[in-house]
Structure 1
Amino acid sequence: MMSCITFFGVSPSSCCRRCWQRIMVAFKGVCTKPFWRAVSAEFLATLIFVLLSLGSTISWPASEGSASPVNLVLISLCFGLSIATMVQCFGHISGGHLNPAVTVAMVVTRKLSLAKATFYLSAQCLGAIAGAGILYLVTPSSVRGGLGVTMVNSNITVGHALVVETVITFELIFTVFATCDPKRTDQNGSAGLAIGLSVAIGHFFAVPYTGASMNPARSFGPAVITNSWDNHWVYWVAPLLGGVLAAALYEYLFCPNPVTKKPRGETLSKDASGKYQEVESPKSQPEDLAVKPGSCAEKGRNQDGRRPLLRSDLLNCHSVFSCFAFMGKFGFFPACLNVHQI
């Protein structure tokens, strides 16, 4: 009698062992100092961003001889410039996400591991709550107002709000991917400033409609402190949807010189002993990205004069070969045709 039940030649214990090995490899870096340094950076950056940005929404009474500071320009510039500043300060440590929509987009495009993304999302939400809580404590109740809680305008429907939030978050995430793409050689300006300006543009447009969240953590923080949850789900669904759409569109359509290898930095490789190990993909050096005038790369060919294999070529060749191999296996070809020689 068999010692254990097998399904398709694989025992349940073997499956569990392999899954456990994969989980342990995925969380291998959780106990390292750089990991928690990056998570702490996300917490601190989101805290400062939410604190400074929500502060621009407080309805302070206008003093004699000065105009009321609560206006669209002030709010938009404060949100945009605070994001630009935090990205510039913490970008080299954690990537400067400060936004669950950015983090999820990075996971979808395999630029960030699921384990690190889980801690990033937690740090961002906790940082937003802490920032909103500090603002609540230091602001008098007479001028506190709604503490910058994002709300859907009563003159539009929830469907309209979903579209608006999806569009402005799409614009933001597309800017993030386009300005932070290491394969671009035409970058001269500041990525942080470009991202901040995209946030400001979104606020200029969408504040009258939805309050211009573009960031689930930004809406989550004040909602927790004020216990205000009207249509709060909109500010999670729409930004995440817009972010994923923007990331996928840029990564697989607009990204210059797409490569055939996996873009994710943390992958799993099975060694000779049968255990899965974490493998770091090689980092591209600036000199590797430069194209010298008159070189084969400039002409679109390799050093041996042949055109490089593109992702589309690889997929097409693999798909055609697999199709012929499958058909030949079940006798769709004459016996004289050797499919493996195609």
Structure 2
Amino acid sequence: MREREKMEGKEEDVKLGANKFSERQPIGMAAQDKDYKEPPPPPLLDFGELKSWSFYRAGIAEFVATFLFLYISILTVMGVVQNESRCATVGIQGIAWSFGGMIFALVYCTAGISGGHINPAVTFGLFLARKLSLIRAVFYIIMQCLGAICGAGVVKGFQKHVYETNGGGANVVNSGYSNGGALGAEIMGTFILVYTVFSATDAKRKARDSHVPILAPLPIGFAVFLVHLATIPITGTGINPARSLGAAIIYNRDHAWDDQWIFWVGPGIGAILAAVYHQVVIRALPFKRRS
């Protein structure tokens, strides 16, 4: 009798264990049970944000971050040009590290406040993916452009002669390249950047990999670095309309304004393509909502 009771007890333990396993991971339902929640899209026009201090704090953070970005990056460009014989070994690499390194640092510092966009193309792409409202997107872009203008203005104030005689860091289509080629470079460069932003900040990855929020600025900054390595010889690398506008306004020469449209249209198209690719192909969100 005792042996029989022991056998029955073991069978019940096996059944309970099987039930616990099935509760944790039901067969055929693993793909449906998410360990993360997709944040709901914000309202298109959220006028309530205008009454919130966090809204203005985020805009100020975007202004300061873009100001610092232009200050360091354009100052690096001017330093390399002024001391070409001493900086010949860094050249493009030094400028690319300056842009990429500042984006890495600034995204890390401001991601928890404003999301760390520091770029109207990034803001536009995230808006298309319904990650922020239209009011916030417009406010961010305005603050980014103002910050870029002020950052380039400070550089000019430090060394006006060098700034004016060496292009002021303004984006132009360099000799040997067509407008079409420059536009294509801006589209591809911005696509790489915005696609990296989407991937590095994806809600699904953040939920499953605890290290993702900490490391997100690293791939974003590295993408900026690599794109600059590839496209500085073509356009000086825009991929950021605020950066291009700020340098053009402070430098204020005709040839800088002639190509300005490229540095808005190119990043705009690149942001659209990145948003569509990530939302439709990578995440397949439209198909998930239908099912």
Normalised by the shorter chain, which TM-score bucket? 0.7 to 0.9
Residue in structure 2 matched with residue 82 of structure 1 by the alignment: 102
- The unaligned stretches of length 5 or more in structure 2 are 1-42
Alpha-carbon separation, structure 1, partners of 2:100 and 2:162: 27
Residue in structure 2 matched with residue 151 of structure 1 by the alignment: 172
Residue in structure 2 matched with residue 172 of structure 1 by the alignment: 193
Alpha-carbon separation, structure 2, partners of 1:128 and 1:143: 15
Residue in structure 1 matched with residue 246 of structure 2 by the alignment: 221
Alpha-carbon separation, structure 2, partners of 1:150 and 1:204: 15
Q: Normalising by structure 2, what TM-score?
A: 0.77
Q: Name the CA shift for 1:171/1:187 in 2 (closer, same or farther; >3 Å).
A: farther
Alpha-carbon separation, structure 2, partners of 1:143 and 1:122: 25
Alpha-carbon separation, structure 2, partners of 1:226 and 1:57: 14
The residue type equivalent to 2:105 in the other structure is T
Q: Name the CA shift for 1:101/1:187 in 2 (closer, same or farther; >3 Å).
A: farther
1:1-342 residue pairs with structure 2 within 5 A? 26-58=46-78, 59-61=81-83, 66-68=86-88, 71-142=91-162, 144=164, 145-184=166-205, 185-186=208-209, 188=211, 190-227=215-252, 228-255=256-283, 258=285, 310-313=288-291
CA drift of 1:204 comes to 0.5
Provide, for residues 1-30 of structure 1, a one-character-per-residue CA deviation record: whole Å limited to 9, x for no partner: xxxxxxxxxxxxxxxxxxxxx99x622211
The residue type equivalent to 1:194 in the other structure is P
Higher mean alpha-carbon deviation, 139-148 vs 129-138, is at 139-148
The residue type equivalent to 1:243 in the other structure is A
> Secondary structure of 1:153's match?
coil
Alpha-carbon separation, structure 2, partners of 1:80 and 1:239: 17
Alpha-carbon separation, structure 2, partners of 1:106 and 1:134: 30
The residue type equivalent to 2:247 in the other structure is P
Provide, for residues 114-153 of structure 1, a one-character-per-residue CA deviation record: whole Å limited to 9, x for no partner: 0111110100000000000000001141465111101102
Task: Determine if contact 1:102/1:173 at 8 Å carries over to the other structure.
Answer: yes
* Higher relative helix content: 2
CA drift of 1:68 comes to 4.3
Q: Name the CA shift for 1:136/1:162 in 2 (closer, same or farther; >3 Å).
A: same
Task: Determine if contact 2:120/2:240 at 8 Å carries over to the other structure.
Answer: yes
Provide, for residues 203-248 of structure 1, a one-character-per-residue CA deviation record: whole Å limited to 9, x for no partner: 0000111111110001000100111312100000000110111011
Task: Determine if contact 2:156/2:163 at 8 Å carries over to the other structure.
Answer: no
The residue type equivalent to 2:238 in the other structure is S
Q: CA RMSD, aligned part only?
A: 2.1
Provide the identity percentage. Answer: 39
Task: Determine if contact 1:50/1:128 at 8 Å carries over to the other structure.
Answer: yes
The residue type equivalent to 2:141 in the other structure is L
Count of matched residue pairs: 239
Provide, for residues 35-76 of structure 1, a one-character-per-residue CA deviation record: whole Å limited to 9, x for no partner: 10000000000000111111111122368xx44476110000
More relative contact order, 1 or 2 (CA 8 Å, 6+ apart): 2
Alpha-carbon separation, structure 1, partners of 2:163 and 2:111: 34
CA drift of 1:94 comes to 0.2
Q: Name the CA shift for 1:312/1:56 in 2 (closer, same or farther; >3 Å).
A: same
Q: Name the CA shift for 1:94/1:62 in 2 (closer, same or farther; >3 Å).
A: same
Alpha-carbon separation, structure 2, partners of 1:247 and 1:255: 11
Q: Name the CA shift for 1:123/1:142 in 2 (closer, same or farther; >3 Å).
A: closer
Task: Determine if contact 1:213/1:235 at 8 Å carries over to the other structure.
Answer: yes
